[in-house]
Amino acid sequence: MLNIYKAKPKASLLGKTLNFDIDNSDYEVQGISKHQQKIVFVAAALPGEQVQAKVVEDKAGFIRAQTVNVITPSPLRIAPPCVYAKICGGCQLQHLSPESQRELKLKGVDALIRHQTNLTQLPWQPMLESAATGYRRRARIGIWYDKKQRRFDIGFRRQADKQIVAVEHCMVLSEPLSPVFNVLQQVLPQLKDPAAVTHAEVLLAEQLPFVILRHIRPLSASDRQLFVDAWPQAIWLGEAEQGQFSYWQQDVIPEYPLADQGLRLQFSPDDFIQVNAELNQKMVNQALDWLQVNADDTVLDLYAGIGNFTLALAQRAKTVRAVEGVAKMVQQLATNAKLNGLSNVEAYQADLHLSWPKASWNTAEYTKVLLDPARAGAAGATEQIIKLKPAQILYVSCNAATFARDAKILLQSGYRLHKISGVDMFTHTNHLELMALFSRS
């Protein structure tokens, strides 16, 4: 019988704690090291440090590890300002000052984009930034009920874990939302069926708090009243099925203003909105400044949502055609245009990642295009935008990796990267958003 030699598989490093010398950091501010010819990404480690880290992933080409002890700290390392920083998964970079966070995020993103596009230098503009605390106007709060101890853990997920870290406050959550933790801890044990509520979501519409409770079994009228009585200043809603909301007091449609434009945008509790109100306003202002839209422009706004950019563009443009994939949000966009007295907005529904339909919005001539896709980027849509031959394309990105991929396609088709800026939407996290203006050469 023929014996075929098979190499003995290497033992996995998963779960082991090893020492790593950190040489650099990537675009998510993970430390970079090497181990047995493999690249190692080490969370919560900084360039120049030596750390002990636990291996959480061991693949053929790379290793991921989580810092458990810093042997030689970087001069940039600081004591985290939040008592939950070492266990809560919400903020990954509290061991750095906000200024150092932005510097390292920008350095990593710059290297990533230049590597993908072969550009030697990027035309960076000043970063958009906001207050480092109290900036979140929306958050999802986990609720875990321990039946044996009849105890609730209310807070956020641990780092790289599904377990809930119980918190009493959150430094990045907007101050008017801060009572939610105490109210939930007070009321949930009083329910007839304490395990019925699985999570909560809070959002701030101007200065009015909304609390949405997801429950898997019905809550009685007396149960609902307990929440309302505990925090009567908030608007309470139940969500028995995804996207189906019931108001427990009066019906109040949440909305937010774009103050500099005098606009008001209404939204459903499950619609996407930017969670940092201050930076959202700055992004809209910068989009208007960079595109310099005027009364001769016909603008195409892709991944338009409820009209966050659309309505501001429409105040200056001849026509804005807005395309969004979620039909419900398309309807909300059209409603918002009407509420703000804008008759030059046309709203359409289409899946922009598929081949675009032969619709009126896809056959018109456009001078300018704005796109604001989700983390997956604009794969498939980028090539179709190029066919429209707009003079300018403003790309708003929440994922540097997919932006770099799409930017390469635009550059290869003859567009030039004219301006780019970082948007520090989520201070204390490894997330950096981007705005980039491309012009035809």
Active site residues: 398
Helices (H) and strands (E) in the chain, counts: 8, 22
Tokens of 333: 């966009």
Q: Count Cβ neighbours within 10 Å for each residue of 21-33 and write b for 16 or more, e otherwise.
A: bbeebbbbbbbbb
Sheet holding 138-146, edge to edge: 164-166, 151-157, 138-146, 197-205, 208-215, 235-241, 244-247
Number of residues assigned to the chain:
441
Q: Under DSSP, is residue 269 helix (H, G, I), strand (E, B) or coil?
A: coil
Q: How far apart are CA 204 and CA 226, in angstroms?
A: 21
Specify the DSSP element, H or E, that contains 400.
helix 400-412
Task: Provide the pairing of β-strand 255-258 with 31-35.
Answer: unpaired
Q: Under DSSP, is residue 335 helix (H, G, I), strand (E, B) or coil?
A: helix
Extended strands (E) in 73-196: 138-146, 151-157, 164-166
List, in sequence order, every residue forming a beta bridge with 42; answer none if it has no partner. 31, 65
Q: How far apart are CA 158 and CA 88, in angstroms?
A: 5
Tokens of 409: 């396609």
